[in-house]
């Protein structure tokens, strides 16, 4: 059995099952939606397909209900917990992916077309400001329940959205021009 290299998605699932205890995919989806999923999209089909692989790998066990919705309950196996803990002890050296199509548009904007640049900047500023307030709402709702590490994680996202909003406001006010 040449073991499959685990992806970030694998570790996400392992971490979620550890956080939630035995749980369904839907439970995981709920948690992802209001936390890490705010910054890193994990479509729900991934949350189904990856556990299936992890069961094959022996890192999760699954138990299907015999009644009602026949949901699958997922649990960490001993090997799964071991894999999770090893990952926890090895800080990654992978660079952050900052994939922003708005930035791509700025990169390829025509410096002579100031109107387009300002329109882009205004749209993105508003976008990031809306996200700042969404994040505030979420934070208020979870701040008493969530673990300290999870709250802390949300902070970097928060910082990013705020500097992005400021950045685009500045671009709108003082757009790059020709020459």
Partner DNA sequence: GGGTACATGTAATCAGTTACATGATTTA
Partner DNA sequence: TAAATCATGTAACTGATTACATGTACCC
Is 147 a binding residue for a copy of itself by CB under 8 A? The answer is yes
From residue 152, alpha-carbon distances to 1, 148, 157, 165 in Å are: 38, 6, 9, 20
Cα separation, 121 vs 170, in Å, equals: 8
Structure tokens at 101: 């199509």
Among residue numbers 64 through 93, which ones bind a copy of itself (CB under 8 A)?
A: 84, 87-89, 91-93
Cα separation, 102 vs 168, in Å, equals: 10
| Partner touching 165 among DNA, a copy of itself, none, CB below 5 to 8 Å by kind | none
Per-residue binding letters, 20-59, with DNA (x by CB under 7 A): ----xxxx--x----------xxxxxx-xxx-xx------
**Closest by Cα among 17, 14, 36, 10 to 152:** 36
Q: Do the Cβ atoms of 65 and 73 come closer than 8 Å?
A: yes
Other residues' Cβ atoms within 10 Å of the Cβ of residue 64? 9
Element (H, E) at 68: none
Minimum CB distance to DNA, residue 108 (Å): 16
Cβ proximity to DNA: between 6 and 121 the closer is 6
Is 123 a binding residue for a copy of itself by CB under 8 A? The answer is yes
| Partner touching 26 among a copy of itself, DNA, none, CB below 5 to 8 Å by kind | DNA
Binding residues vs a copy of itself (CB under 8 A): 8, 11-12, 15, 18-19, 35-36, 39-41, 84, 87-89, 91-111, 113, 116-117, 119-120, 123-124, 127-128, 131, 147-153, 155-157, 159-160, 163-164, 167, 171, 176-178
């Amino acid at each position: 059995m040449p073991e499959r290299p685990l992806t970030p998605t694998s570790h996400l699932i392992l971490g979620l099952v550890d956080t939630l205890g035995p749980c369904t995919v839907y439970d995981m989806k709920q948690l992802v939606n209001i936390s890490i999923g705010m910054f890193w999209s994990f479509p729900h089909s991934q949350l189904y397909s990856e556990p299936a692989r992890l069961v094959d790998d022996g890192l999760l066990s699954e138990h299907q209900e015999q009644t009602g919705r026949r949901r699958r309950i997922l649990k960490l196996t001993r090997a799964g917990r071991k894999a999770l803990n090893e990952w926890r002890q090895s800080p990654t050296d992978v660079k952050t992916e900052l994939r922003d199509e708005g930035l791509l548009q700025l990169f390829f904007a025509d410096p002579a077309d100031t109107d387009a640049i300002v329109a882009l900047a205004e749209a993105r500023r508003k976008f990031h400001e809306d996200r700042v307030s969404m994040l505030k709402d979420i934070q208020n709702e979870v701040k008493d329940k969530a673990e300290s590490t999870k709250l802390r994680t949300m902070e970097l996202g928060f910082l990013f959205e705020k500097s992005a909003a400021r950045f685009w406001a500045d671009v709108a006010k003082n757009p790059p021009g020709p020459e």
